[in-house]
Each structure stands twice: as structure tokens, then as C-alpha cells.
A and B are shown apart, each in its own frame.
Chain A
Amino acid sequence: MRRGSRWFTALMISPTLLALALVVLYPLVAAARESMYVRGEGLDADGFVVEGERFVGLAHYAELVGERFVNALLNTTVFTLVTVTLETVLGVAMALVMHNVLRGRGVVRAGILIPWAVPTAISGLMWRWVFQADGVANAILGEKILWTTEGVQAKLAVIIADTWKTAPFVGLLVLAGLQIIPTMVYEAAKVDGASAWQTFWRITLPLVKPALVVAVLFRILDALAMFDLPFVMIGRGKLSVETLSALVWDEATQLRYGSAAAYGMVLIAYVAVVVFVFVRLLGADLLADTRSRKRTA
């Protein structure tokens, strides 16, 4: 490569890399360090009072067996598994409906963008209102459930609210995948006498898989980091809906930086493992484009 073009490339890329180093890499390294320190006064090995930060090694990680952490880990896992499953099924169904709409496609598309456009914090408030004791959800169900108080019902309420907001997003991505399947394939299936069910499982789903895999991966990442919705909808520090992110945030704002950082490190390790397994199992080739380009070039 010519010298000039190398400089040009470096100039184009470095601002982004620098910015990401500042807002992502630095916090990661600082959090890793922080997770091994404790703030404030303490006694050193000889019994002297020491101020400021003190190295405590992996002591914060030993707290990981604590009840509150295990609870947050379970909540995060349950929310992710349930919401992503529901959103995938509903999203695919919505995409199929939109794909087959003959008239008023614009109206449907605008409608489906609304849940995506409503800020999560606002949707939290909105659903809090719907799920009030004398709110419209209970009025429709004819029940008197205290949705927004601690308990299983609060989890369910959060799951419903999250699914409402993000299933349409999955639907949009899947719809885009559906639209690039050539109609010829379906005609061929028809000629061969395939049933609608067979067509869906043997043709539609495999062909839409690349788009679906990316959509589901986005959703998993989002769900693992869930914070705003339970916070606004149910409240701060409510154990039945406290996620890992909420726990990290709560510890940090109580100025317990050390344990907050340790919990944060676990969260990112959890995300990394899930992404790795997911990509391995489903083969989401996120860099596919550069590779295929190289091959054809």
C-alpha cells in the first residue's frame, strides 16, 4: 500500500478508536481495577487506620454468592430467556403478517414503529399506569392484582411491557429478511405440493435465518443489560425485578464502587459468554460482508 493512503486510513479511523478507547476501554480497565479495591477507612495488617483506597484482591467477588446478587442474576436470566423467546415468536408472526399485507402497508409499518419509538422510560410509566391497582389492565381482566408491587406479578408485568416494545423491532428486521427471498422459491414449493406449514419450516425459516439471528442477538444484548423498564415501572431496589444492571447502578450510586465494579465485571463476562455460545451455535457471521467481499475481489 502506498504511504499516503496508509496515513489517510489512519486519520479516518483513529478518532473513532480514540473515542471508543475513552468511553469503553478505559471504563473496562478502570472497573477491573476498581473491583479489587475498597474505599474509605479501614485497618491495615498492623492495626493502623488507613484512609482512601485499599487493595482487597478478589474479596468483592466473594460477595457474589450473596442473596441479592444471585437474585439479580436469576432475574436477568429469566427476563432474557422469556422476553427474547416471546419477542422472536411474536416478531416472526408479525413479519409474516406484514409481508402478506396487500393494502395499507404504510399504515402497518408506521404502527409497528410506534412501540420502537416510545422511549423505554416513558413506556415504563405508561405500563405502570396500565397496571395500576385500579388501572385498565385489572378492569379488562376483572381482577384486583397489585401488578406493580413486589412479587411474580411484577416480573410478568415487566415481561409484557418489554415484549410490547421490542417484538415489533424483531418483526421489522425479519420482514426485511423475508422481502429478499425470491418468489420463485415459493412457486417451486407450490408446484411440488408443499403445505403452508412445510413451506414455513423448510423454506421461509432457513432463508430468513441470517436476519433473524442478528435480530435475536441484538435483543439478547439489550435484555441482558435491562435497566430502565423495571426501574421506572416497578421502582428502585425492588428485589423481584432487580436486574444485574440495576444492582450495579444501585451499588455505584451508594458509592460502593468496588462491589459495583465487581458485579459489572460479572455482567460483562456473562454477556460475553452468551454472545460466544450464541454465535457458535447459530453461526451469526457478523463480519460476513468483509469476508465475502475479499473472496470475490
Chain B
Amino acid sequence: MKRALAAGLVVVYCLAPFYWMVVSSLRRTGDIFETTPWPSPPSLENYAAVFSGHSDFGRALLNSLIVSAGTTVLTLTLGICCAYALARLTFRGKNLVLGLVMGTSMFPGALLIVPLLKLFTELGWINTYHAMIVPSMSFALPLAVWTLTAFFRQMPHELEQAATIDGCSRWGAFRRVILPIAAPGVFTTAILAFFATWNEFMIALTMISKADMQTATVRVAQFGGASDFDTPFGTQMAAGVIVTIPLVILVLVFQKRIVAGLTSGALK
């Protein structure tokens, strides 16, 4: 009984603020400051407002999707190769490479902003997707290499030997034997990389000045009136729910994999 109560407390702690966002998003504009635990009557007014008029929130969601998917595909393509070498090949300087990749993941994003903003201004990259995708590699790539290395290490060591005996080249062994078996780990890593880029804020805020290129997280943060008094809280909450819902669905469907991916690096 005590255990169930404690578990209940944990769930309430995690869900209460999120629940409040959902409830507030379903209130009518006039009821927004009510504190009843559920909306009465419920209304989709705020959701209509999100997609109406000049805000063009659909475009922002599409931008987020393009940037996140682009970063995910790019980092996985590079990261799979690197992680495979780190986990399953022996070579000199392996710890150095591992240390370098880990070291880059410790970089505060703010430091990257200054030179990249300058560089991208010169290149004319401001307000483009690649101005968001390329810098996003700075956090997504170490994350991908780190997680994938852990997955590759778990696979039995005899796989490549067997493949080579059967006449596969090194590349063939990697592509035909290792990759198919590693698919679940690759998929998990893709989810984590996608989450990380979907949630990214600082780069998208800095490299984009045109409203129609903004990603959803940046757009939501800029919804609003001139002062605290006319902030459209209901619309903000609805937009927040919309940005979060795809992630919540992914979490519910793939929770076991996500947990495995998050913890794979932390456990040795």
C-alpha cells in the first residue's frame, strides 16, 4: 500500500504540470484564469486560434519536422560508421577518438553561436534549414555515437568472423550482417536524436529571423502580446500541447526502447 502511494506521488509529480497545460488549453478564452481541475465547458477555441490567421503554426511544425528529420538522418549516417569502428574494430588512438567525441558533447551551445552566426552570415545561410541542421550535429552526433557504440558492443563478437569466413568483405560484413542486427539500436538512437533536435531552441532562435522559417519551439515562445496583460495564455498552452503530443505518443509507444537507449551509455 505504501509502495503504491509512493508510486502514485511520483506519477502525480510528473504529470500534474503537464495536465494543467492540457486543461488550460481546453478552456474558453474567458475562462482561462479559472482554477477548476477540468475545463467546463471544454472548448477547442485555443486550438483553432493556434492555426488561424497570421501565425501559420502548421508551417512552424513542418520546419521542425524537416530540421529534426534532416539532423537525425545525417547524424545517424555518420554516427553508425564511427560507432561501429569504436565498438568493434581495434586500432590505435581509439580512446583518443572516443575522448574527442565525448569531449565535444560537453560543449556549451552558446559558444558555438558566435562564430557560426558570423560564418553563416558571410555564407548567406541565415534563414535556411542547413543553418539549423549543421550546428545541431554538435549535440546530436556525440549523442548518436555514444548510444550506438553501447549498442554495437552488446552484439556477440563472432559475428564478423563468421561473415568473413563466409566470404564477406569488411564492408560487406558491416552492411549485410551487423547493420540488420543493429537495427533496433539504430532506431532507438534515431528517436533520441530526433527528440534532441525537436527540442532545440537556441540555434533555431539565432539563425532564423524570418517567421516562416522558424521552428515550432521558437514560434511558440514568441506567441504573445506586447505585455504580460494581453499574453494569449490559452493559445500558448494549446500550441505547447501540439508541439509535445508527437513526443508523448513516441514515448508511450517506444518507452522500453527509449529507456534502454538513455541508460545504455550510463551502464557499463
In the complex, how many angstroms separate the beta carbon of B37 from the nearest chain A beta carbon? 10
Query: Binding site of B, secondary structure by majority: helix, strand, loop or mixed?
Result: helix
Q: Are B115 and A173 neighbours in the complex by a CB distance under 8 Å?
A: no
In the complex, how many angstroms separate the beta carbon of A64 from the nearest chain B beta carbon? 15
Please report the number of residue pairs spanning A and B whose Cβ atoms sit closer than 8 angstroms. 286
Size category of the binding interface on chain A: 35 or more
By a CB distance below 8 angstroms, the chain B residues around A6 are 91
Q: Are B220 and A122 neighbours in the complex by a CB distance under 8 Å?
A: yes
By a CB distance below 8 angstroms, the chain B residues around A260 are 113-114
In the complex, how many angstroms separate the beta carbon of B164 from the nearest chain A beta carbon? 11
Considering only CB atoms and an 8 Å cut-off, how many residues of chain B contact the other chain?
A: 93
A236-284 with Cβ < 8 A to chain B: 244-246, 248-249, 252-253, 257, 260-261, 264-265, 267-268, 271-272, 275
Q: Are B202 and A228 neighbours in the complex by a CB distance under 8 Å?
A: yes
By a CB distance below 8 angstroms, the chain A residues around B94 are 290
Cβ of B258 under 8 Å from chain A:
yes
Contact flags A16-33 to B (C-beta < 8 A → 1, else 0) = 110110111111101100
In the bound complex, how far is the Cα of B146 from the Cα of A286, in angstroms?
Answer: 11
In the complex, how many angstroms separate the beta carbon of A20 from the nearest chain B beta carbon? 5
Candidates A17, A248, A288; contact of B114 at CB < 8 Å: A248
In the complex, how many angstroms separate the beta carbon of A30 from the nearest chain B beta carbon? 4
By a CB distance below 8 angstroms, the chain A residues around B85 are 9, 12-13
Q: Are A122 and B217 neighbours in the complex by a CB distance under 8 Å?
A: yes
Candidates B7, B90, B221, B262; contact of A232 at CB < 8 Å: B221
Task: Tell me whether A27 and B112 are in contact in the complex, defined as CB-CB below 8 angstroms, given that A13-B81, A113-B255, A289-B268 are known contacts.
Answer: yes
Closest A residue to B264 using CB positions = A176
Contact flags A115-132 to B (C-beta < 8 A → 1, else 0) = 111111111111101101
In the bound complex, how far is the Cα of B248 from the Cα of A125, in angstroms?
Answer: 17
In the complex, how many angstroms separate the beta carbon of A208 from the nearest chain B beta carbon? 10
Q: Are B81 and A15 neighbours in the complex by a CB distance under 8 Å?
A: yes
Q: Are A264 and B110 neighbours in the complex by a CB distance under 8 Å?
A: yes
Task: Tell me whether A1 and B91 are in contact in the complex, defined as CB-CB below 8 angstroms, given that A15-B78, A121-B199 are known contacts.
Answer: yes
A115-171 with Cβ < 8 A to chain B: 115-127, 129-130, 132-136, 139, 148, 164, 168-169, 171
At the interface with chain A, which of B45-53, B55-63, B132-140, B180-188?
Answer: B132-140
Q: Are B7 and A98 neighbours in the complex by a CB distance under 8 Å?
A: yes
Candidates B78, B145, B220, B263; contact of A125 at CB < 8 Å: B220
By a CB distance below 8 angstroms, the chain B residues around A119 are 198-199, 201, 217, 243-244, 247
In the bound complex, how far is the Cα of B266 from the Cα of A11, in angstroms?
Answer: 28
Task: Tell me whether A13 and B82 are in contact in the complex, defined as CB-CB below 8 angstroms, given that A176-B266, A244-B110, A287-B95 are known contacts.
Answer: yes
Closest B residue to A26 using CB positions = B115
Task: Tell me whether A130 and B17 are in contact in the complex, defined as CB-CB below 8 angstroms, given that A12-B89, A215-B266 are known contacts.
Answer: yes
Contact flags B73-115 to A (C-beta < 8 A → 1, else 0) = 0000111011011100111001101111110111111111111
By a CB distance below 8 angstroms, the chain A residues around B6 are 97, 100
Q: Are B82 and A16 neighbours in the complex by a CB distance under 8 Å?
A: yes
The CB with the most chain B CB atoms within 10 A, among A102, A125, A171, is that of: A125
Cβ of B165 under 8 Å from chain A:
no
In the bound complex, how far is the Cα of B185 from the Cα of A278, in angstroms?
Answer: 30
Contact flags B160-179 to A (C-beta < 8 A → 1, else 0) = 00000000001100000000
Q: Are A117 and B247 neighbours in the complex by a CB distance under 8 Å?
A: yes
In the bound complex, how far is the Cα of B244 from the Cα of A280, in angstroms?
Answer: 39
Cβ of A38 under 8 Å from chain B:
no
By a CB distance below 8 angstroms, the chain A residues around B198 are 119
Q: Are B255 and A126 neighbours in the complex by a CB distance under 8 Å?
A: no
By a CB distance below 8 angstroms, the chain A residues around B97 are 13, 17
In the bound complex, how far is the Cα of B258 from the Cα of A288, in angstroms?
Answer: 23
Candidates B9, B79, B206, B266; contact of A249 at CB < 8 Å: B206
By a CB distance below 8 angstroms, the chain A residues around B153 are 289
Residue contacts A-B, CB under 8 angstroms, 21 given: A8-B171, A16-B78, A16-B141, A23-B134, A23-B135, A34-B115, A34-B118, A97-B7, A110-B255, A119-B244, A121-B199, A122-B243, A125-B240, A133-B228, A148-B228, A221-B105, A225-B108, A248-B111, A267-B111, A287-B99, A289-B153
Which residues of A are at the interface with B, using a C-beta cutoff of 8 A? 1, 4-6, 8-9, 11-13, 15-17, 19-20, 22-28, 30-31, 34, 94, 97-98, 100-104, 106-127, 129-130, 132-136, 139, 148, 164, 168-169, 171-173, 176-177, 180, 210-211, 214-215, 221, 224-225, 227-228, 231-232, 244-246, 248-249, 252-253, 257, 260-261, 264-265, 267-268, 271-272, 275, 286-292
4 other A-B residue contacts (CB within 8 Å) besides A9-B89, A121-B199: A17-B82, A129-B20, A134-B33, A252-B117
